[in-house]
Chain A
Amino acid sequence: MNISLTLLMALPLLGAAVLAALPKTNGVLAKQIALGSTILVALATISMAIGFERDNVNLQYVESHPWIPSFGINYAVGLDGISLVLILMTTLLAPIVVLAGWNESQNGRWSTKTFYILILVLEMMAIGVFAATDVFLFYVFFEAMLVPVYFLIGGYGTGERSAAAVKFLLYSLFGGLLMLASIIGLYVLSGAQGGHTFDTQALSQLQMSSTTQNLLFLGFFIAFAIKAPLWPFHTWLPDAADSATPGTSVLLLGVLDKVGTFGMIRYCLTLFPEATKTFTPIIITLSVISIIYGAFLAIGQKDIKRLIAFTSISHFGFITMGIFAMTSQGHSGATLYMFNHGFSTAALFLVAGWMISRRGSSTISDFGGLQRVTPVMAWAFFFAGMSSLALPGLSSFVSEFLVLVGTFTRYPVAAVIATFGIVLAALYILIPVQRALQGPTTAGNENLPDLTLRERVAIAPVVVIILFLGFYPSPLLKVINPAATHVISQMGFSDPAPTQLGGK
């Protein structure tokens, strides 16, 4: 069966439309429909991934229709290895989030069905943002996906949810508007050089002075750095992750933030190769700061959700470093890292979410001795933690290793400093794991119920994927590598010798 990207995007929308037609009272049916449509989307994506020609570096599943012809804007979508992997991650995570967060919508301001409509719309936009090959279309999705997330955080979160939602939205909008200025700049330049267009390929051929290129690059980069989030643009993330429901947090950190790092590869690097070279040292420095800073702050956190948010800042530092190291290992590693981070964060947030909802507290010190009371949940948390600290044999190890190797060949100092991040990771993961799981069972934890069947079913695929890719990452790498090499060679870089290393 031929599945087009448009159909893939239409599926969740269709699900949302069906949900919208439902009566408000039937929450269970709404959940079932949401689960059904996300599973359907996931299956469709898998079949697309099977049909994907791995060694073909050209865009596949290309569609292009004029949208606003007088501005040269097309509805143009297509897949390369990197975007395929990210779409796969998105659509796999979506049903897991729906299933894991079965009761998340209960404390919301609005009905259950609204919650799932927002999730499905968000999924559709996430697919669109990764698939877009027209800069304008990308921007439209990039900005429009803020709206469902905003309502998800503000409407269904906990604590200072509306403040966190506003903070998130304003940061993102600010970055987005800077990017808009850059996009306008590109548009005008393209108009002066042979006709208005937003096609990524055509735009990468533009001639521009280095000052222009630097300015336009900054517009894009700051937007992505806010999204990613890179130090010092990260301050919205802990609040947002703290207030959002676990499922929303997974989508926020796992999917939405990947748009930032994805955008760096797709737009910063390909559109502005010269400016990228100019700014690389600064960006590598920022990445290293992110890695260390995120890790240190994670160690100091008392709140489990904030802890996970800070670990993510550290992880995103790794991803950014891998991207800007300009080696094919670095790129492959960064892309694989994005995928793996999605699942390890999902594991952490979902299990943490279950712990929090059972205990009614998100403070780490409130937990203790869970190993005895709820062994399955404890093991799941332990496993998620190990995945986050990149234990060999788990998927994140492969990607972290590739990133470090890729960086080391070009920026040895940065790679060495970043390696300390791994050591710190051991600290920030092991301390809460030890506190929460081992030792005597503290008061208030004696009667916590263990994971239900639904929750086990939800977490199982995550565990399987993490384990499988830890031992056998090559299916993904075979998809990623040609695309990553292609980007690097387009930029005019070649890998410094010696190369062949790691999980190829």
Chain B
Amino acid sequence: MTFTAPVLNYAILSPMLIVLAGALIGVLVEAFVGKALRPIVQLILTVATLLLALVQVFRIRGSESLSAAMGSVVFDGPGFLFQAAILIISIISVFLIADNENFTALAAAIPGSAEEQAAIQQGNKVTEVFPLTLFAVAGMMLFPVSSDLITLFVALEMLSLPLYLMAGLSRRRRLLSQEAALKYFLLGAFASAFFLFGAAYLYGYSGDVTFSGIRDSVVGGSGNDIFLLIGIAFISIGLLFKVGAVPFHAWTPDVYQGAPTAVTAFMAAATKVAAFGAMLRIYYTIFANAEWSWTPLLSGIAIITMLFGSFVAIAQRDVKRMLAYSSIAHAGFLLAGVIALNKAGLAASIFYLFAYGVATVGAFAVVTLVRDSAGEVTDLNRWTGLGKRSPWVASVFAFFLLAFAGIPLTSGFIGKFSIFSAAYESGAQGVVIAGVLSSAVAAFFYIRVIVLMFFTDSHEDATTVVIPSVLTRITVIFSFVITVALGVYPAPLIDFINKFATFIR
């Protein structure tokens, strides 16, 4: 028996390898570096790793390969864009994660126990969160460039498992946080099982686990259509779960609320890019020729997701829950880009993902600033009069909300316009109209928060805004600047995306 050595294209894999190496070094740092030095070492290591990976991604941006790792990884324009977007968003959110106010001192300790007290007094910090972040980032980067079902599944788990853990690390209200972790984990594993089952049927349909093989079978149309339909349906369930589309959204509000806000920011922004990245690749390449089987259903899901997210968000009294439902609505808008199934749709989706991701990180970063003596205050009723007490923080938050609402001169508007026009172009006018209407509904609750902050006089148990630490300030300023820049002059980024937004098959 001969053994053929696998051929790996290291140049193309290098960004992911860098992140993984950084993560592993991070684990070693946990083991060998003293407690006092650990946070700063980890932060520098993480940021350096991500920056290095980003540079490397940009260096290989022109290259295309269908078989970077024996046909398991594909690298092309969109793959580059997804990876770059994930890295940029991660870099911005790492600064927020590094703000140690957000995490528990000792995750294993029972909440309220003496053990925990001791850990707090010793100044313990869960620096594990940095390598966990890096592992998740590596998974996210792999997810949209996988080109066979095995890699796709491994990447899915690789991005999910660290996030499950990170969701449980909140410093305050730890029971809530642990509960969020449990819910996220159980539902996430449930969705993975669906995903895997779908993958099995796609394999059964085509006899091949690579995307190109499956695509050939779909184009040829020779296999058993029932297998294909089961495969598409179950894989879609798994992906729709990850992006938080209705009816697979149940975890979103709970996890967004319970998880430490810094993790929520990272998760909400970066996971969306990764999951939609994979979704776009799968639907645009392997399922494109079976359009008849999924477009109607996905359009329905998109419409329901937009409307549900917008309407339910109105009833929310908690900032993080409100942002969670708003993210559900945005998932609906993004699905319109998937349905569009044209180049404009792909480019628009990538722009939207990036713009939305950055604004989301910024908005959650502001949420971490609003506190009282017991920690973050997410109850909207206690945000009243924030505009009076700290006009800058409130104005920045209002700006992010306007971006979510899609008011012109913010990045959200350009994103919305491009994604809706792509969907309209492909003939999905119904989705566009639903999108426009739900934008109107969504505007209502965004504006309600602005009213609370600026036009309502504050109660006695008012919250204070802590003076942002340098790290959080970096996050907020970066996200704000990007959101403004993309709203006022998005042309360079749009051109850049257009240049790369073509999947190779």
Contacts and interface: CB of A to CB of B under 8 A. Distances in A.
Contacts of B454: 109, 151, 154-155
Nearest to A153: B455
Contacts, number: 87
Which range contains the number of A residues in contact with the other chain?
35 or more
A70 interface: yes
Contact of B455 (A141, A154, A174): A154
Contacts of B413: 140, 143
B490 interface: yes
A467 interface: no
Interface in B437-455: 437, 439-440, 443-444, 447-448, 451, 454-455
Interface stretch (B168-176, B296-304, B401-409): B401-409
B388 to A, nearest CB: 7
Main SS at interface, chain A: helix
Interface string B410-454: 000110111011001100000011001101100110011001001
A170 B402 contact: no
Contacts of B418: 71
Interface string A359-402: 00000000000000000000000000000000000000000000
A383 to B, nearest CB: 36
Interface in B76-123: none
A188 B426 CA distance: 9
Interface stretch (A158-166, A201-209, A419-427, A449-457): A158-166
A67 to B, nearest CB: 6
A170 B441 CA distance: 9
A181 B436 contact: yes
Contact of B494 (A70, A143, A161): A70
Contact of A170 (B447, B490, B491): B447
A22 to B, nearest CB: 15
A165 B447 CA distance: 10
A177 B409 contact: no
B443 A188 contact: no
B437 to A, nearest CB: 7
Which range contains the number of B residues in contact with the other chain?
35 or more
Contacts of A144: 407-409
A147 B307 CA distance: 24
B455 A165 contact: yes
B289 interface: no
B436 A67 contact: no
Contact of A68 (B409, B433, B491): B491
B447 A177 contact: no
Contact of A147 (B402, B424, B432, B491): B402
B390 interface: no
Interface in A115-159: 139-141, 143-144, 146-147, 151, 154-155
B324 to A, nearest CB: 23
B495 to A, nearest CB: 6
Given A155-B454, A188-B421, A191-B425, A71 B440 contact: no
A27 interface: no
B441 to A, nearest CB: 9
B495 A181 contact: no
A356 interface: no
A155 B433 CA distance: 33
Contacts of A174: 440
Nearest to B494: A70
Interface string A333-360: 0000000000000000000000000000
B212 interface: no
Given A161-B455, A187-B424, 10 more contacts: A68-B491, A71-B418, A109-B388, A109-B455, A151-B454, A166-B451, A173-B405, A180-B436, A181-B420, A181-B432
- Nearest 9 Cβ contacts at the A-B interface: A162-B455, A140-B408, A143-B408, A68-B491, A184-B421, A181-B436, A177-B436, A154-B455, A144-B408
Interface of B: 387-388, 391, 402, 405, 407-409, 413-414, 416-418, 420-421, 424-425, 432-433, 436-437, 439-440, 443-444, 447-448, 451, 454-456, 489-491, 494-495, 498
